[in-house]
C-alpha cells in the first residue's frame, strides 16, 4: 500500500449488593413491524447500539431491547411510568425515537430538561431489518456501535462515543463520530460526494477498483495511505472570499490537502484529528 505522508465486598454483603442491583433494573423487549418499501428509515437513539441489515422484503422489522436503571425502587417505577417510545410513520419515512421523558429527534432540546428529580437511565438497543433500497438516518451517543449492512440507499450515520461500521454500501454517505473509528466498504461507487469524520479514530474506506474522485483530507496526528495506483497530490487551492476593498479581491489559502484518484471527479472529504486515513481498493 502506498503511503502519502502529510506533514471489595464479600459474603453476605456481596449478595445484598447483587439483590439491590437486580431490584433497580428493569428489562423488556419490544417488537415492531411496519409495511415500508421505499423512503427514509430513521432511528434516533441516545444510549445503546443500532444495528441495521438490508433484506429482500417489504417490511421494516424492529427488535428493541429496553433497559431502565435507577438508584432506587421509587426512581425505577418513575422511569417505567414516564418512558415512552415514538414511531412516526408516513408514506415516505419511518422514524423511531424516544418520546418521553425527553425527545431524541434532531433539533429537539432533549438534553436540557427541568426535571432535576429524575435519577434513572434508559438504554435502548435497536436491531433492524429493512428493505435493501431504503435510505437511512441513524444516530446514537453512548455505549454502542452503529452497524449497517446491505443497505443500498443514501446513508447518514452518526455516533459520538463509539465506532461506525458499514458493509456493502452503494449510496451517498455522510458518516460521523467523535470517539471511534469509521469503516466503510462499498459494493458500487457512491453517486455523489461523501463525507467521513471522526476525532479519535482511524478512517478505513474501501471503494471499487474503478473509483475516481478528488479527495480532501485533514489529520493533525495521522497519515494518509492508499493502494490506488494512480494518485496525484493537488496544489494548495486559493479560495476567493466575498470581501472586496480598494486593493482588490482578498484570497486565502485552503490548508487542507487534496489527492486526485484516477481522472478525479466529485469531492470526497475525510477528516480525523488523531488517527490515520486508509483509502483501499477492492481486491
pLDDT in tens, 198-255: 999 999 999 999 999 999 988 888 888 999 988 888 887 666 555 666 666 555 656 6
**41-85 confidence digits (pLDDT tens):** 999 999 999 999 999 999 999 999 999 999 999 999 999 999 999
Task: Give dist(CA 227, CA 80) in Å, integer.
Answer: 53
21 lies in a domain?
Answer: no
131 lies in a domain?
Answer: yes
Q: How many domains does the chain divide into? A: 1
DSSP 59-78: EEEEEEEEEEEESSHHHHHH
Query: 176 is in which domain, residue-wise?
Result: 35-61+78-118+127-281
Quick check: 50 and 129 in contact, CB under 8 A? no
Q: Which residues contact 163 (CB under 8 A, 6 or more apart)?
A: 145, 146, 177, 180, 181, 182, 183, 201
180 lies in a domain?
Answer: yes
8 lies in a domain?
Answer: no
70 lies in a domain?
Answer: no
29 lies in a domain?
Answer: no
82 lies in a domain?
Answer: yes
30 lies in a domain?
Answer: no
pTM: 0.86
Alpha helices, DSSP H, located in 100-227: none
Quick check: 27 and 69 in contact, CB under 8 A? no
**134-167 confidence digits (pLDDT tens):** 999 999 999 999 999 999 999 999 999 999 999 9
Amino acid at each position: 500500500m502506498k503511503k502519502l505522508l502529510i506533514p471489595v465486598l464479600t459474603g453476605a454483603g456481596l449478595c445484598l449488593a447483587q439483590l439491590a442491583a437486580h431490584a433497580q433494573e428493569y428489562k423488556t423487549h419490544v417488537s415492531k413491524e411496519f409495511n415500508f418499501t421505499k423512503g427514509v428509515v430513521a432511528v434516533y437513539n441516545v444510549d445503546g447500539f443500532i444495528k441495521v441489515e438490508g433484506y429482500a422484503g417489504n417490511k421494516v422489522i424492529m427488535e428493541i431491547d429496553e433497559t431502565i436503571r435507577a438508584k432506587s425502587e421509587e426512581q425505577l417505577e418513575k422511569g417505567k411510568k414516564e418512558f415512552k417510545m415514538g414511531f412516526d410513520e408516513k408514506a415516505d419515512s419511518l422514524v423511531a425515537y424516544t418520546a418521553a421523558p425527553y425527545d431524541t429527534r434532531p433539533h429537539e432540546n432533549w438534553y436540557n430538561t427541568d426535571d432535576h428529580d429524575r435519577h434513572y437511565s434508559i438504554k435502548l438497543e435497536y436491531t433492524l431489518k429493512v428493505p435493501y433500497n431504503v435510505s437511512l438516518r441513524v444516530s446514537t451517543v453512548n455505549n454502542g456501535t452503529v452497524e449497517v449492512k446491505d443497505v443500498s440507499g443514501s446513508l447518514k450515520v452518526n455516533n459520538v462515543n463509539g465506532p461506525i461500521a458499514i458493509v456493502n454500501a452503494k449510496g451517498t454517505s455522510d458518516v460521523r463520530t467523535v470517539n471511534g473509528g469509521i469503516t466503510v466498504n462499498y459494493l458500487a461507487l457512491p453517486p455523489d460526494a461523501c463525507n467521513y469524520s471522526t476525532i479519535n479514530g482511524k478512517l478505513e474506506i474501501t471503494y471499487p477498483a474503478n473509483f475516481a474522485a478528488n479527495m480532501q483530507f485533514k489529520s493533525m496526528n495521522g497519515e494518509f495511505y492508499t493502494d490506488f495506483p494512480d494518485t496525484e497530490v493537488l496544489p494548495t487551492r486559493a479560495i476567493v472570499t466575498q470581501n472586496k476593498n480598494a486593493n482588490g479581491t482578498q484570497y486565502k489559502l485552503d490548508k487542507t490537502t487534496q489527492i486526485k484518484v484516477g481522472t478525479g471527479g466529485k469531492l470526497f472529504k475525510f477528516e480525523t484529528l488523531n488517527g490515520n486515513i486508509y483509502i483501499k481498493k477492492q481486491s
